[in-house]
Each structure stands twice: as structure tokens, then as C-alpha cells.
Amino acid sequence: MVVLTALTMNGCSTILTPTFGVRQGQLASCPLQRDCVSTQDHDPSLHIAPLIYTSTRDQARNDLLIAATVVGQGRIVSNHRSYIRIEYPIADRTDQASKYYYQPENAVDDVEFYLDPHRHVIEMRSIARLGLFGIGANRARLERIRTAFAELQQRHN
């Protein structure tokens, strides 16, 4: 019973934290000093278009999970019907193959997806946890996910 309670409490803590999660249909805004992009940010340098889907919401969610795992070695932190958060290491596979590879635990990009229950839209936000600015990896990763997601969605039409 104690283990179940601990797992339940741990699982709930990953749904909504001060910096992650959805509040009244909104993901957290991007801080200016961080490498971050968001579909809900109005600053053109931080904005990225949301994903649009034509399938059912459940199929779109499944396609999103497949697309998100195809583009990188992410670790799913939260996996709920309307919200998914994935941590991606900032080092790519080539860096990780080096015998000198080391990555601090907090050297990750946090990627959030919110499947709006009222529209066929998936809101996205990606932020570098260490605050490195100007790398552009967040935007590039989301665009790779967009491409993979669109290919999967086309299969359902």
C-alpha cells in the first residue's frame, strides 16, 4: 500500500509543476533568457505553429507519441490523455558515443504537448532546462516531430 501511494503521489507530481503543465488551456510562457519555443507565445522569435490533426484525438495522441520517439531518445515523464511531457538529452547520439561523453542530469530539453479537447490542435512547448540560448535545438526537434507526425496522420486519410 505504501508503494502504491508513493507511486500515485509521484505520478501526480509530474502532471503539474510550477514550470510545467497546463493551466486553463495554457502552457507556461517562454522566459526570454532561455532557449525556448512555444505555440502559445506571441513573440515571433519564440513562436512555433501548433500541430493540426485530422484523425480522432486518440489516434492523434498515438501518432504524436510515435513521432516523438522516432526523432530522439526522449524519456516520457508525463503521459496523460491531454498532456504529454518528454525529456530529451541535449547531447545527440554522436556525442553520446564518444568515450568522453558526460551529460549532467539537468542537461535536457523539456518538451510539452497539450491536446486541446475542444479543437484539433496540439499545442507545443520546448525549453532547455539549463537555459542555453540560441542553440535552436528545441525548434528543430519540434519541426522533426511535426514532419513525422504529419506522415503518420496522412496514413489515416
Asked if residue 10 has pLDDT above 60, the reply is no
> What per-residue confidence (pLDDT) applies to 9?
38
DSSP the chain: -HHHHHHHHHHHHTT--SSSSEETTEEPPPPTTS-EEETT--STTTB-PPEE--S-HHHHHHHHHHHHHHSS--EEEEE-SSEEEEEEESS-HHHHHSTT----TT-EEEEEEEE-TTSSEEEEEEEETT---S--HHHHHHHHHHHHHHHHHHTT-
Task: Please state which CATH number belongs to domain 2-154.
Answer: 3.30.310
What's this model's pTM, rounded to 2 decimal places?
0.79
pLDDT tens string 61-119 = 999 999 999 888 889 999 999 999 999 887 554 444 455 544 555 578 899 999 999 99
The residue ranges of every structural domain in the chain are: 2-154
